[in-house]
Amino acid sequence: MLFCRESRVAVESLCCEEGGILCGVRAPLETFAGLLDRSVQEIAIMAADARVFDASRVGALADIWDNNTFPLVSAACAPRLDRNRQARTGLLWMAGLGAARRELMVDLDPALDRQLPAAATGRPVHRDYQARVFPGSFPVTTEIITGLATDYDLTDASVRRFTVRPGRPGLQVEATLAAPRRFVPSTGRVARDGSRKPWPAAPLHFTFGGVTDLQFDAADRHGVSLTFGDAGLAIAIGQQGTVQATTASVWPDDPRWYESAAGRAADLETPHGRPDRRPAVVTSSLTSQQQAAARALTELMLRIRLVSYYPELTATIPAQQICRVTAGAGTAILAASDKHGPAREHAFAELAQHWRAAPKSTPPAPIPSGPAVLRYIRYDEPHADYDVQHDGVAVLVAAVPDTGTAAPWRLASEKLAQPASFHVTMAAFDGIRGIRRDAGALAMNDMLNIQETP
């Protein structure tokens, strides 16, 4: 192994870690801080005009800094000869989360593609603490479709949740099917009163990317068939519903999957033992002011991340204003860490105060009649699972013209409880459309129609 010399210049010839990782690039600490600056910059660009707001992308960018802000601050505040080693360790840990995280890092800083190790190939099937196999997400192939049809009665399945969101890779649809099992579980589930009851239908979570056609009506959600060809996957829903996509994956979220034919076959091939937990990044101790700054920034990133997990909150989170407050955060952390003694503590205290001053969330504005660009739509059917009743709901997020001067368009959202009807087609996501609100209905001609429950 070679050993490198610490340098204060922006670009330096770094030592090679074992395997040639992060060798010959600019200082790892500056790369680490640069990822934070670029994350905030990209979120700010999408937040500046609601018509291009991509909640999935924004959530993924903010999610990086849930468990990487403290390691960045720690690396910046470490003894000078140890900073790049800690930063290098932090970057490798960050990329080790999986292929999607590595791809996101390379999107932010293409130079990392040559320096980071290839993403580890994850096993699609694992074992739980009782050594039973449980599934992850599988790319949809003809073989997977055959396996699903063997274990689950897709012709008797119904769509429990249907979500559509435009994004950078194109239109994405997520559909959860409640599918009866063709196999009989060996035991019933234990109900809240301690009795044994039949298992509810198994949830099959499908994700479709590069969607080229879709039509869904909540009144016509029963019965599903899947076909896979050179152009991708096509799923027929009910009599007239359809989703056609270039890529697709499925996660059989079935607690009895290990008793299915696919589960029994996987049991023969899956190694025993659970995957090792990734060790936490070892960080230097931080002073109270350094911790306060890292915590304040982390909390802002967590607030932004909510747009991915709870899209109905998207219109309430001031992402654009938060990005103004956190612009250049990585550079600011490095500048503060370059100071010494009380001056360093004062600099981090000022950062903490500055980041805590970000504006709070505001009540969502409803979607008005007029021009709009749909950014998210979801339908949940009412159902009962595991002795819990889940109400039906429709959620919409749209970009609408702003009446102020801060941005040309703003986000507005709706959450309609127990919708009496729900219908959406591909055309509803084709640019600017006119929304009409009248008589308890929200409609875009025949492209979108949601009837509120009286």
- pLDDT tens digits for 348-371? 999 999 999 999 888 878 899 999
Q: What is d(CA 197, CA 385) in angstroms, rounded to the nearest whole number?
A: 11
What is d(CA 126, CA 33) in angstroms, rounded to the nearest whole number?
A: 35
Our CA dihedral for 451, 452, 453, 454, rounded to 10 degrees, sits at: -100
Distance CA 404, CA 86 (A): 46
Q: What angle do the packed helices 319-326 and 341-356 form, to 10 degrees?
A: 170
- pLDDT at position 405 is 56
HSE toward the beta carbon, residue 262, CA cutoff 13 A: 23
**If you search the block for the tokens 């360093």, which residue do you land on?**
344
What gap in Å lies between CA 149 and CA 181, rounded to an integer?
Answer: 10
- Per-residue pLDDT tens for 110-169? 999 999 999 877 778 999 888 999 999 999 999 999 999 999 999 999 999 999 999 887
Other beta carbons less than 10 A from residue 421's beta carbon: 14
Give the pairing of strands 170-179 and 202-217: antiparallel
Q: Residue 274: its pLDDT value, please?
A: 66
Retrieve residue 34's tokens: 């640069």
pLDDT score, position 5: 31
Q: 370-380 and 241-252: which strand pairing?
A: unpaired
The first and second tokens of residue 207, run together, are 């994700």
* Residue of 157, 163, 191 lying closest to 175 (CA atoms): 163
Number of helical H runs and strand E runs in the chain: 11, 20
Residue 73 backbone dihedrals phi, psi, to 5 degrees: -65, -40
3-class state of residue 254 by DSSP:
coil
Residue 137 DSSP class: -
72, 33 Cβ separation under 8 angstroms: yes
The DSSP annotation for 98-131 comes to -HHHHHHHHHH-GGGGGTSPPPP---SEEE-TTS
Long-range contacts of 225-228 (CB under 8 A, 24+ apart): 225/154, 225/155, 226/140, 226/145, 226/148, 226/149, 226/154, 227/145, 228/140, 228/141, 228/142, 228/145
Q: Is 269 exposed, middle or buried (0-12, 13-18, 19+ CB in 10 A)?
A: exposed
Q: Please report, in angstroms and rounded to a whole number, the separation of the first and last CA atoms in the chain.
A: 72
Provide the residue count of the chain: 454
Task: Tell me the CA distances in angstroms from 226 to 147, 149, 155, 222, 235, one per residue in order.
Answer: 12, 9, 10, 14, 5
- Buried-state track 139-177, b at ≥16 Cβ within 10 A, e below 16: ebeeebbebbeebbebeebbbbbbbbbbbeeebbbebbb
What is the C-alpha separation between 53 and 362, in angstroms, rounded? 18
Partners of 409 in the beta sheet? 401
Q: Which of 158, 162, 154 has its CA nearest to residue 177?
A: 158
28-48 and 329-337 helices cross at what angle (nearest 10)?
A: 150
Torsion angles phi and psi, residue 328, rounded to 5: 70, 25
Q: What is the pLDDT along the chain (454 residues), one digit of tens a residue?
A: 233 333 333 333 333 443 344 544 579 999 999 999 999 999 999 998 899 999 999 999 999 999 899 999 999 999 999 999 999 999 999 998 889 999 999 999 999 999 999 987 777 899 988 899 999 999 999 999 999 999 999 999 999 999 999 988 789 999 999 999 999 999 999 888 888 889 999 999 999 999 999 999 999 999 999 998 887 899 999 999 999 999 999 999 999 999 999 999 999 999 887 666 666 666 668 999 999 999 999 999 999 999 998 888 888 999 999 999 999 999 999 999 999 999 999 999 999 999 999 998 888 788 999 999 999 999 999 988 887 888 999 999 999 998 765 568 889 998 888 899 999 999 999 999 999 988 778 999 999 999 988 7
The pTM for the full model equals: 0.87
Distance in angstroms (rounded) separating the CA atoms of residues 441 and 450:
6
CB 94 within 8 A of CB 108: no
